[in-house]
Amino acid sequence: MIRLTLTKISNFVNLLSQKYIFIFITLLLLVYFDSSFVDLSERFNLPENKAFLIGIFLIFVSLFIFINIVLIFTIKNVFLKNYGILGDKVKIIHNFIVIYLITISLLITILFFEMIIYNSYSIYLIYSLLIVTHFIGIYFSVWGTIKFFNWFKSNNDKLLLVYVISFVTFSILISLSLVYTLTELGNTPETITPSDLKRTMHVISVNLSEIYPFYRIFFFITFCSIWVLTAFLLYDYFGRNNRLKFWIILLIPMIFFLIQFFPITLKLLISLYLLNPSLFLPFYTILSTITTFIGATMVSIIVWLLIRKIPNKSFRSYLILVTFGLLLVLTSTQETPFPRFLFPPFGLITILFVGLAIYLLFMGFYSASLHISKDMSLVKNFANRIHQYEFFRNIAKSQLEQDIKGIMSKALQSNEIRIMTKEKQHQQELEKGEIEKLFQIVKKELEYNKRSKNNIKK
């Protein structure tokens, strides 16, 4: 009976894990309400008693654990059939991420139960969660930087350079976010007990860490780098044909982001309060809580639009992970009321997505590039396509070039048979025939490029 129920639940979660729109919306809503709850509670005068706040936090924790389980299934479904192509390295990383997600889910559950049972919790639980998630984020963002830099070196595609810059900013931003949060928590007692929400938010003097402005500036730079990156992709998608639509879609998230971020624009906005306070206040609350989300959501949706027509399901699934990553990377590094209000720690769950965000972002691209470079039909498919998939085609080319370069340099150093044996040991799976095929594809690609350029000149 229990087994049957477990199987049914497992099947249900497995089904949900393939509903990408469901995952996307759940993630969006969870992160939005967790990070904006304090603002919304202020505007809409929500109850502030302990039971209500803990009840809300329970919903967030439950959703967090649920979405982690769904994502574990999603990652499994995306990669399971392709370990043969992607190699054991990806399998190891996948298992590692599963353990990571289970660990943070357990830690947040312990924190919640401490709150219920002891009416307090240990600050060390928060430290553990922050350190684990941020280090995972830093690890994958550094790896992403190196990978994109290598692709850029062999390709010189300016979009790849934007990705290099983005991953560099992710690394710095995540490091600053960790240092800032830890500094803010520096004066908190070892045991966190309930406190008055509004008094904490508005009355107590703010002794902000000196790292805060740097953290915020890097958040701005990260937003800009992702914005530029989106601009390139969007331009490739329909910017060539519809400039007006291109600029409108591109400017909306930037305007929303800038309004709240800087003193001058914010002063202009809040001065509108005097025109009509009753209309202004609800409008402002919604605006102020969705600014970051509009940017992140639009960037993700644009990428989604770009990849939805890709015929290869595996390849498309990798890039779906990228859209989740893009959504989470901006939202999880935004500032939340978390370091200031700790019982319950609203905003913490948002921050906990930082490691997963970078993992999804990096692994999405990395797996896609590995897949293209190992799947000959996909290479041809991309090599024969027009501009829309230029970026992904370039990644594939770079990955191919890197594989070939590695093999060729080894072939120059020793005899080919030894190299082939070595390659087999490293599970590169590239036979002599395949290398020849690759050369032919690259040659064709170069000829195609030449022809295209000549046609443009004509």
Partner 1 sequence: MQKSNKITIKILLVFTLPLLFFSITNVLAIESIEDYVFEPNSEPYDLTYGEWEAKFWELHVNLPPDKSPASPIYKPTECLLLKDENMTFLSDFYSEIEYRNYNCEISQTPIAIPALTEGCSYGEFEKPNDKIIEDCVYSHNPYAVVKVTIDGKEIPAIDSFRITSDWFILNVTQKDNPYDIKLGSHKAKINAIMPIIKPLPPGQHEIRIEVFQDIPSIIMSDVPLHRVITYNLTIK
Site residues (vs partner 1, CB under 8 A): 38-39, 42-43, 45, 187, 196, 198-199, 201-208, 212-213, 216-217, 220, 260-263, 266-267, 270-271, 273-274, 277, 280-281, 284-285, 288, 335-337, 339-340
The SS3 call for residue 242 is coil
How far is CA 315 from each of CA 190, 294, 303, 367, 388, rounded to the nearest angstrom? 47, 27, 14, 8, 15
Nearer to partner 1 among residue 9 and residue 255 (C-beta): 255
Cβ-based nearer residue to partner 1, 247 or 273: 273
Q: Decide: 305 and 237 in contact? Cβ < 8 Å.
A: yes
Residue 290 to residue 283: CA distance in whole angstroms: 11
Q: Measured from the CB atom, is 198 or 245 closer to partner 1?
A: 198
In three-state form (DSSP H/G/I as H, E/B as E, the rest C), the secondary structure along 130-154 is: HHHHHHHHHHHHHHHHHHHHHHHHH
Phi/psi at 221 (5° precision) = -65, -40
Q: How far is the CB of 4 from partner 1 (least distance, A)?
A: 48
Shortest Å distance, C-beta 128 to partner 1 = 23
Closest CA to 154 of 402, 336, 362, 383: 402
Cβ closest to partner 1, residue 340 vs residue 380 = 340
What are the b/e assignments for 313-333, b being 16+ CB within 10 Å? Answer: ebbbbbbbbbbbbbbbbbbbb
What's the burial of 3, exposed, middle or buried (CB within 10 Å: 0-12/13-18/19+)? Answer: exposed
Q: Return the sign of the alpha-carbon dihedral for residues 99, 104, 108, 110.
A: positive
Would you give the distance in Å from CA 27 to the centre of its chain?
11
Nearest approach, Cβ of residue 167 and partner 1 (Å): 23
Q: How far is the CB of 406 from partner 1 (least distance, A)?
A: 45
Q: Give min distance, CB of 201 to partner 1, in A.
A: 5
Exposure string for 266-298, b = 16+ CB within 10 A, e = fewer: eeeeeeeeeeeeeebeeebbeebbebbbbbbbb
Shorter beta-carbon distance to partner 1: residue 43 or 410: 43
The distance of closest approach from Cβ of residue 339 to partner 1 in the complex, given in angstroms and rounded to an integer, is 8
Nearest CB to partner 1, comparing residues 39 and 434: 39
Q: How far is the CB of 333 from partner 1 (least distance, A)?
A: 12
Let me know the angle formed at the C-alpha of 336 by 335 and 337, rounded to the nearest 5 degrees: 130
Output 263 or 433, the one with its CB closest to partner 1.
263
CB 336 → partner 1: shortest distance, Å? 7
Closest among 327, 328, 317, 355 to 77, alpha carbons compared: 317
Distance CA 235, CA 250 (A): 10
Which letter does DSSP use for residue 17 in this model? T
What six digits make up the tokens of 240? 């060539």
Q: Which is nearer to partner 1, 347 or 364 (CB)?
A: 347
Q: How far is the CB of 262 from partner 1 (least distance, A)?
A: 6
Q: Which residues contact 447 (CB under 8 A, 6 or more apart)?
A: none
| Closer residue to partner 1 (CB): 207 or 413 | 207
Query: 22 or 220: whose CB is closer to partner 1?
Result: 220
At 121, is the secondary structure helix, strand, or coil?
A: strand
Measured in residues, the chain has a length of 458
Is 352 or 395 the residue whose CB approaches partner 1 more closely?
352
Task: Provide the token pair at 279.
Answer: 């209309």
Question: In whole angstroms, what is the distance from residue 109 CA to residue 352 CA?
Answer: 13
- Closest distance to partner 1 from the beta carbon of 373 (Å): 41
Residue 173 beta carbon to partner 1: minimum distance, rounded to whole angstroms: 14
Minimum CB separation of residue 124 from partner 1 in Å reads 22
Between 5 and 45, name the residue whose CB sits nearer to partner 1. Answer: 45
- 82, 314 in Cβ contact below 8 A? yes
